[in-house]
């Protein structure tokens, strides 16, 4: 099961699935190996592979997928977990804004390149890790950000846009795969105490963080709590597809994602902006 962005919240999954084969897709091999050691200390039966993946580089995404396609015969679960929030404004080597490429365009290409392996499993699941922030962005803002990468509109808008894009992608990919064994869902983990806030001053500043600490202990989920909805979407016998999970239950996403036409047109727009890296031959 490839997981993009290794993260200790996922250990719970490994403990439950003794003997699972897991691929940790990490931009830092060192962190990946630390995670592997930790997993093996909890579960000697797991087979854990650490592979390099940098979502900010489409060539890295394709290389990672090529390796998996050579080394594995099927995938049960693909978890598009890696993401950045409040990342300093910047452009990737492929010319896209960092947050949009990391959180959406990279996972878009990666998922398509792994579809063959997913289809080869008897049952397969794609879980896209999104955020409630997707509700704060309009479709016009999302389209503008997708078309005009150079025009920075603020950290919250770019983060929300990347997550709205992933929610729309979830719906459209689920529709395209409806007659296959692959189900696709979005998961909002909720507000979780992780390293995601490393660039967000009110939380990355130790003094400001200390002032909020007691409130955060009460209202913010621990990583173990935060990964429960992700695990639920991976393990539930319910084979609903194209949906949105929050707090281990099906929930409503932004009404924008309920519009099939918007999901289809945004998927087409994504293909257009990615036309130099991704051809329609790779489409499902
Ligand atoms: N925490 C929350 O409150 C919250 C709320 C809603 C949604 N989410 C979503 O949950 C997911 C997991 O985030 P988290 O909270 O666990 O944050 P995190 O601790 O910062 O984990 C994010 C992971 O993504 C990896 N990553 C970032 N850029 C990458 C790239 N270019 N290529 C490959 N991997 C990359 C990071 O790698 P490194 O370890 O090398 O940095 C890290 O392992 C994200 O999609 C986030 O948007 C989180």
pLDDT tens string, the chain, 284 residues long: the values are 555 444 433 444 444 456 789 999 999 999 999 999 999 998 889 999 999 999 999 999 999 999 999 999 999 999 999 999 999 999 999 999 999 999 999 999 999 999 999 999 999 999 999 999 999 999 999 999 999 766 788 999 999 999 999 999 999 999 999 999 999 999 999 999 898 888 888 888 888 888 888 888 888 999 999 999 999 999 999 999 999 999 999 999 999 999 999 999 999 999 999 999 998 665 56
Helix (H) or strand (E) holding 186: strand 182-188
Q: Which atom of ligand 1 is nearest to the CA of 28?
A: 40
Does residue 10's CB lie within 6 angstroms of at least one atom of ligand 1?
no
Does residue 194's CB lie within 6 angstroms of at least one atom of ligand 1?
yes
The pLDDT value recorded for residue 7 is 42
Encode pLDDT of 15-26 as tens digits: 445 678 999 999
Q: Which atom of ligand 1 is nearest to the CA of 103?
A: 45
CATH of the domain at 76: 3.40.50.720
Residue nearest to atom 43 of ligand 1 (CA): 5
| Containing structural domain, residue 168 | 2-282
Cβ atoms 198, 204 nearer than 8 A? yes
What's the structural domain count of the chain? 1
Cβ atoms 103, 111 nearer than 8 A? no
Annotated catalytic, 159?
yes
Does residue 170's CB lie within 6 angstroms of at least one atom of ligand 1?
no
Whole-angstrom Cα distance, residue 5 to residue 15? Answer: 18
- At residue 2, the 3 state secondary structure works out as strand
């Amino acid at each position: 099961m490839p997981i993009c962005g290794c993260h200790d919240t996922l250990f719970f999954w490994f403990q439950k699935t003794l003997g699972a084969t897991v691929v940790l897709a990490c931009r830092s091999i060192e962190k990946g190996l630390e995670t592997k050691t930790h997993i093996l200390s909890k579960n000697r039966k797991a087979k854990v592979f650490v592979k390099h993946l940098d979502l900010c580089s489409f060539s890295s995404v394709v290389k990672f997928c090529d390796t998996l396609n050579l080394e594995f015969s099927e995938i049960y679960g693909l978890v598009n977990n890696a993401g950045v929030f409040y990342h300093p404004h910047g452009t990737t080597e492929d010319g896209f804004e960092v947050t949009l490429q990391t959180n959406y365009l990279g996972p878009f290409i990666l998922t398509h390149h792994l579809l063959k392996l997913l289809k080869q499993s008897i049952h397969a699941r794609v879980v896209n890790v999104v955020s409630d922030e997707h509700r704060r962005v309009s479709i016009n803002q999302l389209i503008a950000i997708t078309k005009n990468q150079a025009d920075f509109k603020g950290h919250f808008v770019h983060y929300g846009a990347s997550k709205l894009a992933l929610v729309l992608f979830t719906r459209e990919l689920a529709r395209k795969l409806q007659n296959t064994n692959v189900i696709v869902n979005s998961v909002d983990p909720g507000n979780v105490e992780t390293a995601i806030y490393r660039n967000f001053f009110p939380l990355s500043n130790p003094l400001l963080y200390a002032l909020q600490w007691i409130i955060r202990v009460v209202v913010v989920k621990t990583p173990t709590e935060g990964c429960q909805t992700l695990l639920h979407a991976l393990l539930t016998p319910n084979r609903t597809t194209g949906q949105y999970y929050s707090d281990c239950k099906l929930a409503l996403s932004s009404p924008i994602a309920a519009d099939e036409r918007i999901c289809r047109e945004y998927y087409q727009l994504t293909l257009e902006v990615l036309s130099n890296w991704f051809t329609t031959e790779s489409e499902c």
